[in-house]
Amino acid sequence: MDDMARSRISAACLTVFAALCAAPPAIPSGVYFVDGASRSCSDSGPGNVSVPYCTISAAVKARGGPSTSIYVRPGVYREEVDIRSSGRARMPLALFALGSRVIVDGADDFSTPSLWLPLSGAVWCDSAVTWNVQQVLVDGVRLALPADSTASLTPGQFRYVAGAGLEVNLGGDNPGTRRTLVGRRDHGFFLSGASWVRIEGFEVIRTEDKGIFAADSSNDVTIKNNRVTFCANHGIAAINSSRLMIESNVASDNGFHGIALISGVNGSRIKNNQAFRNARPAIREANGIYVFASPANRLERNKVHDNQDSGVNIQSGSDGCISAENLSWNNGDHGFFHLYTTGVLNIGNVAWRNSSNGFSAEGQSNGTRILDCIAVDNGLATDKFDLYVDTTSTAGLVSNYNIFWNSTGQDIIKYGPDRYSTVSAFTTTGQDSQSIQADPNFIDPAAGDFHLRTGSPAIDSGTSASAEWPAVDADGRSRQDDPASPNVGTGPVPYADRGALEYLPLGIPGQLLPGRPNPFNPETEIDYSIGTPGFVEVNVFGISGSLVRTLVRGYEAPGDHSVIWFGDDDHGRRLPSGTYFCRIQAAGGFRETRRLVLLR
């Protein structure tokens, strides 16, 4: 990076801090602000703190490019942000939500009685609606489209009639007297051929199509810490793009898949996301995470539950994908579904009480590997299985070091045409010689807590022999050797646990994990756990030993915690590149230090 770029980034970070403290210095090139609630905002202005842009779209159109950061203040932005400009490696075009509730809303508010006229019976009409509406929400609930477009509307239904407008039946109520929101814009953020873009911290709601959509060689895009809900189609989706990072988002209550790699996506990571309650109105088809014709991607540490169809669906040429330490429970079909795809590795995944199979390989899904996984009580009401491999998908199957368990006497495995009620019987096929049929003793799986109880058979019994074995668990914790459990695993770490979450032995006072990422710029997330309630301090020291930043100081309960460090000191000043040390001190005499490297 040359001196000019380094100087510009330095000034940019200082400016952001100043803006957050309500001090409006001159804004250098590369940092711009959006505040639709500001009386001084202007879409043709300079985009500084004093005269911010009114819309995100105007800021992107006027200023989009490498090393540009656009900060958006809280408010409701009824617009579709169309991004066609790119950043460059280590100089992204970045869009950040400042604070909570920065909402990009795909719907317009029709909660005004005068907008509506009675049509017939209980049906009201707004003739000013001239677009083909995909969804209408009233008091937070989606209305339904009638199965027969010519039939009379029943209460809770709507339809758009070209040339006539939008018709709604709320049982006689004028829709304007209720909280009525009508879909208008296709996407919250739409990227077309836009690479090296970062979208972080937004709430995207009620779009007519996909919430956030990366298309047409939108490569090296990061979509992080967004909440995408009530979109008519997928929550977050990508097509024909590479090296995406889709991380720590929430995708719920959408009208199709929560997160979808539609086709032609490769080399990407879907990590630490939550996808739940996604459902398609007309047919059971919505998955938590869906990967289609998109090979060599990695799905890790995601939580997918209560989706209409499968939790994780990898299919149709999505060969060589890796699915690691994902938690899939209470979904309407499979926990993990593999269809017409080869060479998929499952390692450390958990499938609990899904309606159909826990792990399913069908349609010539050969070369499937299932290691260190746990499947419990899947398909109990549908006569399905914890593990199902159809007759076309047995070639190259590797399944071992798993735990299968049903709380009833139902068969746990179907392999080709044969059913097995015990793991020991299944081992005659050459599979699962080290697998266990026992209750894994999760803490509270119905509430989504799949941590292990003391004495779980999953403790210190996994395999770390795979090159893709994750050195940390789904919480980001390193592996711990439980003194009370024999090390019966295999590989370089014989005390690794099965499943997604490592057991934290009693008596271990805590743990400080490496920063993520490390080295880092501009921020790193520091995860730590404590075993004893009490006073906790997390501090950052310079290489000379001087204290530069206090991140945590106060009482905390036992368990897992995290904090983000933005590379600043206690006065908000930007620190230079270099080596720093993060130190935790907690009750019980726990003290641990980790090295952090800040690269500007």
425: left (phi over 0), alpha (psi -120 to 50) or beta: alpha
Return d(Cα 487, Cα 204) in angstroms, integer.
47
Cis peptide before 522 (omega within 30 of 0): yes
Report the SS3 class of residue 428. Answer: helix
Query: Cβ distance 458 to 452 under 8 Å?
Result: yes
| Sheet of strand 578-586, all strands in order from the earlier edge strand to the far edge | 547-556, 534-541, 578-586, 590-598
Q: What is the pLDDT at residue 211?
A: 98
Q: What is the pLDDT at residue 507?
A: 65
Return d(Cα 432, Cα 92) in angstroms, integer.
46
Cβ neighbours of residue 152 under 8 Å, at least 6 residues apart? 121, 123
Whole-angstrom CA distances from 264 to 150, 201, 261, 314, 509 are: 39, 26, 8, 13, 46
Query: Cβ distance 481 to 501 under 8 Å?
Result: no
Whole-angstrom CA distances from 227 to 140, 211, 251, 437 are: 16, 9, 6, 38
Q: How open is the CA angle 136-140-145, to the nearest 5 degrees?
A: 30
Residue with tokens 């520091």: 526
pTM of the predicted protein model: 0.84
Return d(Cα 308, Cα 281) in angstroms, integer.
10
How, if at all, do strands 165-169 and 123-126 pair? antiparallel
Q: What is the pLDDT at residue 600?
A: 79
Weakly modelled stretches of the chain, pLDDT under 50: 1-29
Q: What is the pLDDT at residue 11?
A: 41
How, if at all, do strands 312-315 and 197-200 pair? unpaired
- In the chain the domains, ranked by start, together with CATH numbers, are 108-183 (no CATH), 320-506 (no CATH), 510-598 (2.60.40.4070)
Residue with tokens 């795979």: 466
How, if at all, do strands 298-300 and 322-324 pair? parallel
Return d(Cα 111, Cα 599) in angstroms, integer.
50
- Express as a percent the part of the chain with pLDDT over 70: 95
Return d(Cα 305, Cα 328) in angstroms, integer.
6
Among candidate residues 67, 70, 57, the one with its CA nearest the CA of residue 98:
70
* Tokens, residue 415: 């392999």
Q: What is the pLDDT at residue 434?
A: 97
Return d(Cα 254, Cα 423) in angstroms, integer.
38
